[in-house]
Amino acid sequence: MAEVTRVPIQPVAKGSLTKLWLGVILAVLLGGGLAWAAMPKGLDIETLAEGEGPTIAVGDVAWVKYTGKLAASGEVFDQTPDLPPQIAETVRSIFPEGSPWEMREGAMIEGFFNGLLQMKKGGEYELYIPADQAYGDEPPSGSPIPAGADLIFEIEVTDIMSQEKYERDMAILQQMMQAQMGGSGGPGGPAGPGGPAGPGAPGGPGAPPVLPQGQ
C-alpha cells in the first residue's frame, strides 16, 4: 500500500484570520451590491409568488396582469383591461391572459420597465415606483394620477415570449379575425373598434395610460 504524503497545514495567525473573515464578508457584500446596483434607487419589488425560468429581458414581450394604485391612498387608477366578449375566446386561443408589454425603453414608464426586468414567468409581485420613475410632475392628461405621485403595481407575469413569436402569433390572430368578421377593418376586427388594436384594447387608442411614456 502506497504511503500517503501528508502536507502539514500551517495555523492561521489571529490577525490573518480576522482579515480572512473580513475578506469573506466583503466579498458577500460586494456580491449583494451587484444585485442591488441592478435595481434603480427607490424602486422596490416584493415577490409574492416566485416565478420560474429566466427573468424578462430587453427585446422580450412580457404578458402581465396588473392593477395600478396610488401609493398614498391605495386608489386604483388602472388595471388590465377586459377583452370584448366577441373576440375574447379567439384572442385567448392564441395569446395568454394579460396585456402585452414590448420590452424596450420608452415603451412604458421607467419604473415599470426596470421592475419587469426583475420578474419571471408565473411570478406575482408588488412593485413600488417612486414618482421620479413614474410620471413625475406631468401625469397623463385626464388621468386620476396627481403630480408627484408614487405608484404601486400588483403584477402577475403570465408569459414571456420573443418579439418574433409575438409578431407571428399576431399575424395568425389577424387572419382568424378577418375570417370571422369578414374583413380587416370592421367592428371587432384587427384595427377596428373593439379589435386587438382597436380603441380600448392593448396597444390601441384608450389603452392603459402607463403604456406610453409621458402620455
Which pLDDT belongs to residue 20? 54
C-alpha to C-alpha distance for 95 and 39, rounded to whole angstroms: 30
Q: Which amino acid is at 195?
A: G
Band (pLDDT 50/70/90 cuts) for residue 180 is confident
Distance of CA 196 to the CA centre of its chain: 21
- pLDDT for res 168: 96
Per-residue model confidence as pLDDT tens digits over 140-152: 899 999 999 999 9
Measured between alpha carbons, how far is 192 from 178 in angstroms, rounded to an integer? Answer: 11
Under a CB-based contact definition with an 8 Å cutoff, are residues 68 and 150 in contact? Answer: no
Residue with the larger pLDDT of the pair 96 and 199: 96
Closest of 68, 209, 211, 43 to residue 129, by C-alpha: 43
What domains, with CATH codes, occur in the chain? 44-163 (3.10.50.40)
Q: How confident is the model at residue 112 (pLDDT cuts 50, 70, 90)?
A: very high
214: DSSP letter: T
